[in-house]
Amino acid sequence: MKKLIILFFIIFVNANEIELFESLFPQLFQKKEIKIYTYKYAKFNSSVLKKVNNCQSADIVLGEIKCDKPKFLLNYYNFKKDKKAIGAFYWRKGRPQLRLRKENILYYNLHLSKAFSEYLE
């Protein structure tokens, strides 16, 4: 019973983060299907995000991985260090935070939606 609850909790948490990426990435890339390369999420169900096994076939990289594709980070300190990242999702002061870097988004010719305005830096 307890294991089931924990499993449900992990899936649920991941599902919400995946929902955030499902909402964000298609707007950035103006595409219906986004190929992501990541070590973080072992398994997830998504009709929008497709996990790929290498950097070259990916549209975006999730996490601190060496790759020349747009990078979206999942840690505050990594985001502060890596000036090339287009954005990040992380926890800060107990709150989930979304940050997007305008300059890098434009560098990769991605779309800047008005909906991003409060997350831009």
Q: Which helix (H) or strand (E) holds 13?
A: helix 2-29
Task: Give whichever of 64 and 67 is closer to other proteins, judged by the CB atom.
Answer: 64
Report the C-alpha gap between 7 and 68 in whole angstroms: 34
Burial of 79-104, coded b for 16+ CB within 10 Å and e otherwise, reads beeeeebbbbbbeeeeeeeebbbeeb
For the window 3-42, what string marks contact with other proteins as x by the rule CB under 8 A? ------x--xx--xx-xx--xx------------------
Among 7, 52, 55, 98, binds other proteins (CB under 8 A): 98
Q: Which residues bind other proteins (CB under 8 A)?
A: 1-2, 9, 12-13, 16-17, 19-20, 23-24, 76-77, 91-98, 115-116, 118-119
